[in-house]
Amino acid sequence: MTSRVELRSATRPRLLRRPREAAFAIFWYVFLSCAAIVVMMPYIWMISTSLKGTEEIFTYPPTWIPREWHFHNYVDAWNAAPFGRYFFNSLFVAVIVTAGQLITCSLAAYAFARMEFKGKNVAFTLFLSTTMISAQVTLIPSYLLLKELGWLDTYMALTVPFLASAFGIFMLRQAFMTIPQDLEDAAKMDGCGRLRFLVQVILPLTKPMLASQALFAFMGNWNSYLWPLIVTTSKHLRTLQVGLRYFVGQEGGTQWGVFMAATVFVSVPVVLFYFLVQKSFVEGIALTGIRG
């Protein structure tokens, strides 16, 4: 559907020979530096506050660099709520959902990309139509269904509804269609079945697409909020996002040093992870238009 988008400049590099270009480059750097500082400011403010003592937090004018460094905010935050458990829940759920989606999407994408069967167009349209239905709309019936099944407040409620993805199927189908048919014919002649061909040939050849798909699934699930909020009631099943909300909500909003420390350790792992994989993430978004 889309051609591969290269996130590089269309204009060719030039040497900064003329003074006008040099002046422009300086302006360019100043402007972008200012923009970068504005974008980063909430993060810097978060980290700065997380290291301050109570007194310094409530003084005017506020300081950017703490006069005294209070690292114990982090210890206090970690001990004030079961954040270890929240981390485990978020990680466990996101990993199950990501792995499950890759399996179901690969199978369905293979069928749509490389097989001929009756009702293919109908099935494909049906699958794609699920992207038009957002979770907010099916929230109530899904909740009532899980209630009937007795799945409320279990890991089942957090994982099973997300084990398929129409976007994932669509994207993987695009990738699977690029594998030459001759390869499959040759494999078939050697007695290789479809499933084995999928696992041993197609999946290794489409690793970049699988990786970006996994990334979207993982990030989307890790950051989700509304669904885990309504289907979990007991504390030990809360995900990190829900746990952070309750932690900040219950204290009456005064211990900002501890709150910011908790927010730092909730957000920093994702930020670090993003720095590691940002290239494929950004290219994946430019390619598909899906937000994580």
Partner 1 sequence: MIKGESRSHPGAPASGSTRHNPIPRKPAKSWWKRWGEETFTAYLFLLPSFLVFAVFTFFPVIFSLVICFYRWNLPHQPVYIGLDNFKWLFTDPIDAPAFRQSVFNSFYYALGGIPLNMAISLLLARFLNRQLRGVVLFRTVSFLPTITSTVAVSVVWMWIYHPADYGLLNSLLLKLGLSPQSWLRDPHLAMPALIAMGIWKGMGYNVIIFLAGLQNIPSRLYEAAEIDGAGGWTKFWKITWPLLGPTTFYIMVISVINSLKAFAQMHVMTQGGPLGRTTTIVYYLYQQAFETFRMGKASAVAAVLFALLLVLTFIQFKVVGSRVHYD
How many residues contact partner 1, by CB under 8 A? Answer: 112
Q: Of the candidates 74, 167, 197, 256, which one interacts with partner 1 according to CB under 8 A?
A: 256
Q: Is 261 in the site for partner 1 (CB under 8 A)?
A: no
Q: Of the candidates 53, 66, 82, 292, which one interacts with partner 1 according to CB under 8 A?
A: 292
Instruction: Indicate the residue type of 18.
Output: R
Q: Is 111 in the site for partner 1 (CB under 8 A)?
A: yes
Q: Which token pair is 145?
A: 């269904």
Q: Of the candidates 84, 167, 219, 276, which one interacts with partner 1 according to CB under 8 A?
A: 219
Q: Between 60 and 204, whose beta carbon lies closer to partner 1?
A: 60
Report the site for partner 1 in 15-44 (rule: CB under 8 A): 25, 28-29, 31-32, 35-36, 39-40, 42-43
Q: Of the candidates 85, 92, 223, 280, which one interacts with partner 1 according to CB under 8 A?
A: 223
Q: What is the 3-state secondary structure (H, E, C) of the chain?
A: CCCCCCCCCCCCCCCCCCHHHHHHHHHHHHHHHHHHHHHHHHHHHHHHHHCCCHHHHCCCCCCCCCCCCCCHHHHHHHHHCCHHHHHHHHHHHHHHHHHHHHHHHHHHHHHHHHCCCCCHHHHHHHHHHHHHCCCCCCHHHHHHHHHHHCCCCCHHHHHHHHCCCHHHHHHHHHHHCCCCHHHHHHHHHCCCCHHHHHHHHHHHHCHHHHHHHHHHHHHHHHCCCHHHHHHCCCHHHCCHHHHHHHHHHHCCCCCHHHHHHHHHHHHHHHHHHHHHHHHHHHHHHHHHCCCC
Cβ 68 to partner 1 shortest distance, Å: 16
Report the site for partner 1 in 113-172 (rule: CB under 8 A): 113-118, 120-121, 123-127, 130-134, 136-145, 160-161, 163-164, 166, 169
Does residue 61 have a cis peptide bond before it, meaning omega lies within 30 degrees of 0?
yes
Cβ 109 to partner 1 shortest distance, Å: 9
Q: Of the candidates 18, 30, 54, 59, which one interacts with partner 1 according to CB under 8 A?
A: 59
Cβ 124 to partner 1 shortest distance, Å: 6
Cβ 132 to partner 1 shortest distance, Å: 5
Q: Is 61 in the site for partner 1 (CB under 8 A)?
A: yes
| Window contacting partner 1 (CB under 8 A); options: 1-9, 70-78, 81-89, 199-207 | 1-9
Cβ 66 to partner 1 shortest distance, Å: 14
Q: What character string, x for contact with partner 1 (CB under 8 A) and - otherwise, covers 166-205?
A: x--x-------x---xx--x---x----x-----------
How far is CA 286 from each of CA 109, 117, 279, 291, rounded to the nearest angstrom? 21, 32, 11, 10
